[in-house]
Chain A
Amino acid sequence: MKRGNSQWNLESQTVRQMDDGLGVEAQLTHLITGVKLKVEFFSALNDGSVLRMKINELQSERARFEAKDALVDDIKYSKIDILTADANQIELGFGQQNNRHKAVINASPFRIDILKGDDLLISEEEHEEPSPPSPGLWEETFKSFTDSKPFGPMSVGMDINFIEFDHVYGIPEHADSFSLKNTNDGGDPYRLYNLDVFEYELQSRMALYGAIPFILAHSARASVGVLWLNPSETWIDIESSSEGVAGYLAKLVSGDSKSRFTHWFSETGVIDVWFMMGPKPSDVVAQNAKITGVMQMPPYYSLGYHQSRWNYFSDKEVMEVDRGFDEHDIPLDAIWLDVEYTADRSKKYFTWDSRSFSDPKTLTSNLTSMGRRLITIIDPHLKRDTDYAVYNEAVKENYLIKTKEGNDYDGWCWPGASVYPDYINPVVREWWSAKFNPEFFPGFEGGLVDYWNDMNEPSVFNGPEITAAKDLRHFNNWEHRDVHNIYGFYMTKATYQGLMTHRPNLRPFILTRSFFAGSQRYVAMWTGDNQAKWDHLKMVVPMLLSLASAGYTFAGADVPGFFFNPPSEELVTRWYQAAAFQLFFRAHAHIDTNRREPWLFSEQTKKEIRSAIRVRYAYLPYIYTLVYEHTLNGLPPLRPLWFEFPQDINTFDIDDTFLLGDALLIHPVTAEGVTSVKIYFPEKETDIWYNAESNKVYNGGSHAIVSVTTSNIPFFQRGGTIIAKRNRFRRSAALTLNDPFTFDIVLEPRKRSAYGRIYLDDGYTFDYKSGSYIYANITFERKDKIHTLIRVATSQLKVGSKEL
């Protein structure tokens, strides 16, 4: 993939404002082939802070897939203006006064520069053509698999250059540093292609389970984001600008500042690219949130601690685990069942094994009586077995992915020979959602059980790269290559739809492994089959920061690593301590590992695990408040330091430390045997940070060495903040909803005041949507030598005050 001059010209006489004033369209012509394309520009969102550019073929024999469902339903558009237009150049204006941008379109060769005033921010150029479908032998062989490519090459590509931005982030999911690396080091580009990767590598740009083609560029000057809305296999190359800056750029780029050039390339589909103009990181994520959506308010319990294992083999084992947590006084909110709960362990989902789980209703109600939930796995593959009703229905109704010859595609997964529902088809999603009717799948009455959708890349053990072949066929004759990265999205959307239909006033909790932009609206995700190793623990924060920046907030990693027995109890302790501050907090283990419920370790380790879990439960009201605020403004609860301190260039490469909201800074210990850690505190000397365990004070703008024992979690509360906690450690989060709060108030040194927020609701229903909630500011200020704690909101929240 080499960058070169665009082969496309914009036909300036075709530039036309659309009738509603909300768009501008024009035609592009290829210099050599004469192929014509349609290009459209829109100014998205109420404030016009996003420029959307769509390019598709003007005429084509075969339509190209558009990932419309990844977007939220009601995206608003504002007016876009044609400022000037002549044969060589067109200028479009978009955005509001304080954030007004201009897109300068060069006609020949076709190129767009986006500027704020005279400040060039992004420049893009189209390269790979959407080439017309042509018959021919475009076969490609990977190992023994042959991809027939009956429609020929249909790739699309574009250069997107971030001028004077030295850092880019995002494009999850990769097990790599948070700040994206240049790819012109002889290695591969970043790849987005949802795959079930066995024992994935770290510090790698290899594709993993999910894909969000969103990149965030940041510098002390500004932040911008780009969403490349394409669900086919996508590669992204990244370079620094010191080399290859075209002459026209040289005039605008000051000598010593760095720019980052990115090159995007997708196998098929359209160009539908969204330029989010910031200017702050929080603005970019807010803009992305209004386009691909946010995590919904989850059931309160789901933010608690989850205990999983492949597998708890019987209702008796589940209840033993449940009792173990009570005996050892460790809070727990959910116990998970992996694939072995199905009838005769057949992996026929929506069935129960009649011997090991003879009475699922009693099992779930026994758990619920302690405020706990059962979460069971439902995977997409269906066992090819005529004794299996779900399979028979899917075959009869023609709901399955087909081969290019039109037969039901037969792949290999947990149950052996399997077929795969075609969730791209809305009728299939409707059918799938009906499976969550409690009459069909007993034990699920009253929302007592939630779900886990695994293996939905989809995983096909005997397929190319362990997934479905690209020339398989879907609904509307789409090829699998057209929809691959959005397949898991559609599966989880169907599951979500099922829960919303059958228990409309209970918030669903669903976990997915595969995802695409927009999945965050329906499901939580986890980072798949990681390993119980120190370097995997260290990789969790970079991965979660990358996901959070790209809009995925409800995310976590298996504690303390899925594969292998942990090499030491220290790793187990450290992993629990780190995960206590990550949104999705679940212990999970491979079937070949030893049992690892917290009390199976030494007394010391058990106590450290218990302390870590209790820290999590203490901060649940704070986390819940952050999640609520995320639904309002898109800011992820777990966020990089520079989201709060965008000017502090020292933070741009930090991915061993993160913020939880604006008030907590966490530096999980991720190395063996350490007695101290070096931590950077942003931003200025006047910022102060309190060690939340020792109350020791650290000043901002510098590094500090903080000593730690295995019992310590280095986390810090920012001066001037108030955090609402609940310090009573009940058996589960559900049992704490009526408990009193403890406010941790740490003062800001000059004004000696502090501020915080709290959000409260019933924790389970959608009643908050009709106003049943409290969202209050809490302020602590000095007046007449008396500090008073007040809340600024109307509600029943009772507040006391104490003289100090």
Chain B
Amino acid sequence: MPKLVQLLLKEDAAKFTVASFGEHFKTLYDPSKDFTCFDGSITIPFRFVNDDYCDCGDGSDEPGTSACTDCLFHCSNVGHVPMDIPSSRVNDGICDCCDTSDEYNSTAQCVNNCLILGEAAREEQRRQQEVFERGAAIRDEFIKEAKNEIAECEMKLQTLRKEIAVLEAIKNEKLALKKTAEEKERIAIEKHKLKVDESNKARTEEEIAEAAKEDQKLAEAAFIDLDTDGDEKIHFTELKPHLRFDQNKDGEVSDDEAKFFLHMKEEMDLDEFISVGWVIMKPYYFAGRDTSSMRPPKLRTPKPADIPDLSDSDLPSELTEPSTNTEESGSDDRDVDYEEDSKVPPFSPKPTEETPSVPYDEETQKLVDIAKRAREEYSDAESKYQDLLTKIRELEVTLETDYGPEKEFMALRNRCFELSERQYVYKLCPFDKASQKSIGDSSSEVSLGRWGKWTGPEDNKYQSMKFEGGAGCWNGPERSVEIFLNCADRNALLTASEPARCEYKFEFQTPAMCVRAVEKEPEHEHTEL
């Protein structure tokens, strides 16, 4: 069978001398011997090394050209940091190595700037080292403060737990008092109501009679109105011209529809009409004529994906429901604001007092007043108890939260950091919440999530954290933020972006990340030589 043949057209590639690689390559590439690929697959004449044609499957015959795929090219970059670049970047017209060694046969006008870059890099490294040192010192402070604070919290918690026992007793005592007083109050008010009801009853009967008379008058008037032939009887044919009696809305009053009001009889006299006919006819009689309402034509709404962004809102995820109303602003008012979580105790006293229609007698009033006082006292005790409970819970949460291996992130607790970007202000309150609001519109704050967890990789768990369960996006997920932390000598929220819909990304710098080498290699430290 015919064979598949691959041939290569050779360029006038400048011969690359192995010597230019530096000393340690000389042992690997010895011009006095045939060359064996590093993987041992084949041996080729040495002139095939760096001849810009890939002979070895592992690419080892072409360390200085771009002939082999997925290989590395080494630039020594004397004066700066040596670098391995993909061999596909050799002679591609772009200067990658500062010593220009990657563009030895290229139209690119590369200039060796390793010394300048190296100096700048070393300067930058010194600067970063300084920042790191300052940051690490602050971190030490953070750790010390955190230790103190935790001790303090624990002490406080003990005290509060004692206090709450006392408050609970008071609360229970007040609850008992309240119950007794309210029972007495209930009995007195019931008695009072009974008296009032009796006097009202007489009056009500009078009113009913009056209304019945009024209704009879209406019935008589209707009878006269409908009895068009004046024979003192309503015949069902007399009802048919009145479209108001068209119950099935087919545009005409059928015989049955007319007779329906006459209890399926042909006709009805006045007395019967007053006693049984009028009752069923009345709602129809006053209903007036039907008007079939014009329904406005339904416009085809734009496809959800295509809803124009009418608002000033920055991010397209802020789009609201489809709407043809141009006046509607793209506000986020449908977003639930988790900001002000209700702190109302679960069973706040609901005052039962209502102003009586008839004033209470002196005795009743006294019992009502006593009950009111008892409720107030209980409510007071209850709220003091709840306040303390909240404080205890807060302390417990503080002690349970993972503030890092040495509690160094505790210093970020109870603090918030803001960043203005475009028309938004992003706010990060570590271990609490994150939000976004439009500049100049404080009512527009949207929750991006509440503190969730550390999300860094196993070996560097504290490198990132996630805030979850923020306000839901229209037709999308709940908002969330992932925050990436870096070492610096002060706390600051650096960037905020939304790489995926409703999934935000913050960059945050803090001294808490400046971990000394004994624990962990600090970032941007000592590039290896």
Determine if A749 and B422 form an interchain contact, defined as CB atoms under 8 angstroms apart: no
Determine if B316 and A414 form an interchain contact, defined as CB atoms under 8 angstroms apart: no
Q: Which residues of chain A are within 8 angstroms of B475 by Cβ–Cβ distance?
A: 592
A742-B6 contact, Cβ under 8 Å, with A413-B308, A592-B475, A729-B69? yes
Indicate which residue in B8, B309, B501 contacts A740 across the interface (CB closer than 8 Å): B8
> Does A728 lie at the interface of the complex (its beta carbon under 8 Å from any beta carbon of B)?
yes
A461-B306 contact, Cβ under 8 Å, with A594-B500, A741-B9, A746-B4? yes
> Does A523 lie at the interface of the complex (its beta carbon under 8 Å from any beta carbon of B)?
no
Residue ID in chain B nearest A752 by CB atoms: B2
Indicate which residue in A563, A736, A749, A802 contacts B2 across the interface (CB closer than 8 Å): A749
Q: How many A-B residue pairs have CB under 8 A?
A: 142
Determine if B93 and A462 form an interchain contact, defined as CB atoms under 8 angstroms apart: no
Residue total for B at the interface (Cβ-Cβ under 8 A) = 49
Determine if A461 and B4 form an interchain contact, defined as CB atoms under 8 angstroms apart: no
> Does A695 lie at the interface of the complex (its beta carbon under 8 Å from any beta carbon of B)?
yes
> How distant is the Cα of A492 from the Cα of B254 in the complex, in angstroms?
66
Residue total for A at the interface (Cβ-Cβ under 8 A) = 67
> Does B468 lie at the interface of the complex (its beta carbon under 8 Å from any beta carbon of A)?
no
Besides A198-B303, A594-B500, A797-B9, 4 other A-B contacts (C-beta < 8 A): A317-B497, A741-B9, A752-B2, A789-B7
Question: Interface on B for A, CB 8 Å cutoff?
Answer: 1-11, 52, 66-67, 69-70, 86, 88-89, 92-94, 107, 297-300, 302-303, 305-306, 308-310, 312, 314-317, 324, 326, 422, 475-476, 497-501
Determine if B303 and A144 form an interchain contact, defined as CB atoms under 8 angstroms apart: no
Determine if B305 and A592 form an interchain contact, defined as CB atoms under 8 angstroms apart: yes
> Does A466 lie at the interface of the complex (its beta carbon under 8 Å from any beta carbon of B)?
yes
Indicate which residue in A340, A590, A802 contacts B7 across the interface (CB closer than 8 Å): A802
Q: Enumerate the 6 nearest inter-chain pairs by beta-carbon distance, A residue then B residue, closest first.
A: A144-B297, A747-B2, A198-B303, A461-B302, A735-B92, A416-B308
CB distance from A756 to the nearest CB of B (A): 12
Q: Which residues of chain A are within 8 angstroms of B67 by Cβ–Cβ distance?
A: 728
Residue ID in chain A nearest B67 by CB atoms: A728
Q: Which residues of chain A are within 8 angstroms of B52 by Cβ–Cβ distance?
A: 740
Residue ID in chain A nearest B298 by CB atoms: A144
Indicate which residue in A317, A355, A736 contacts B422 across the interface (CB closer than 8 Å): A355
> How distant is the Cα of A317 from the Cα of B505 in the complex, in angstroms?
13
18 A-B pairs within 8 Å (CB atoms) are namely A313-B497, A344-B312, A345-B309, A345-B316, A347-B309, A371-B94, A412-B308, A461-B308, A594-B500, A727-B69, A729-B69, A730-B88, A735-B93, A740-B11, A749-B1, A780-B5, A789-B7, A800-B8
Determine if A416 and B66 form an interchain contact, defined as CB atoms under 8 angstroms apart: no
Residue ID in chain B nearest A753 by CB atoms: B2
> How distant is the Cα of A347 from the Cα of B297 in the complex, in angstroms?
29
Determine if B4 and A744 form an interchain contact, defined as CB atoms under 8 angstroms apart: yes
Determine if A745 and B4 form an interchain contact, defined as CB atoms under 8 angstroms apart: yes
> Does A369 lie at the interface of the complex (its beta carbon under 8 Å from any beta carbon of B)?
yes
A369-B297 contact, Cβ under 8 Å, with A595-B500, A742-B8? no
> Does A319 lie at the interface of the complex (its beta carbon under 8 Å from any beta carbon of B)?
no
> How distant is the Cα of A732 from the Cα of B99 in the complex, in angstroms?
23
CB distance from A214 to the nearest CB of B (A): 30
Indicate which residue in A199, A329, A595, A690 contacts B4 across the interface (CB closer than 8 Å): A690
In chain A, positions 753-804 with a C-beta closer than 8 Å to chain B are: 780, 787, 789, 797-800, 802, 804
Determine if B326 and A747 form an interchain contact, defined as CB atoms under 8 angstroms apart: no
**B interface, by DSSP: helix, strand, loop or mixed?**
loop
CB distance from A377 to the nearest CB of B (A): 14
> Does A591 lie at the interface of the complex (its beta carbon under 8 Å from any beta carbon of B)?
yes
Determine if A743 and B314 form an interchain contact, defined as CB atoms under 8 angstroms apart: no
> How distant is the Cα of A25 from the Cα of B497 in the complex, in angstroms?
69
Determine if B92 and A730 form an interchain contact, defined as CB atoms under 8 angstroms apart: yes
Determine if B422 and A356 form an interchain contact, defined as CB atoms under 8 angstroms apart: yes
> Does A100 lie at the interface of the complex (its beta carbon under 8 Å from any beta carbon of B)?
no
Q: Which residues of chain A are within 8 angstroms of B305 by Cβ–Cβ distance?
A: 198, 563, 590-592
Q: Which residues of chain A are within 8 angstroms of B316 by Cβ–Cβ distance?
A: 311, 340, 345, 591
Residue ID in chain B nearest A340 by CB atoms: B316
> Does A72 lie at the interface of the complex (its beta carbon under 8 Å from any beta carbon of B)?
no
Q: Which residues of chain B are within 8 angstroms of A731 by Cβ–Cβ distance?
A: 88-89, 92, 94
> Does A415 lie at the interface of the complex (its beta carbon under 8 Å from any beta carbon of B)?
yes
A143-B300 contact, Cβ under 8 Å, with A730-B92, A743-B6? yes
> Does A370 lie at the interface of the complex (its beta carbon under 8 Å from any beta carbon of B)?
yes
Residue ID in chain B nearest A741 by CB atoms: B9
CB distance from B319 to the nearest CB of A (A): 9
> How distant is the Cα of A422 from the Cα of B250 in the complex, in angstroms?
50
Taken residue by residue from 692 to 733, chain A's Cβ proximity to chain B (1 for < 8 Å, 0 otherwise) reads as 000101000000000000000000000100000001111100
> Does A649 lie at the interface of the complex (its beta carbon under 8 Å from any beta carbon of B)?
no
Q: Which residues of chain B are within 8 angstroms of A740 by Cβ–Cβ distance?
A: 8-11, 52
Q: Which residues of chain B are within 8 angstroms of A744 by Cβ–Cβ distance?
A: 4, 6
> How distant is the Cα of A742 from the Cα of B52 in the complex, in angstroms?
12
> How distant is the Cα of A205 from the Cα of B500 in the complex, in angstroms?
35
CB distance from B95 to the nearest CB of A (A): 10
Determine if A735 and B94 form an interchain contact, defined as CB atoms under 8 angstroms apart: yes
> Does A249 lie at the interface of the complex (its beta carbon under 8 Å from any beta carbon of B)?
no
> How distant is the Cα of A144 from the Cα of B310 in the complex, in angstroms?
24
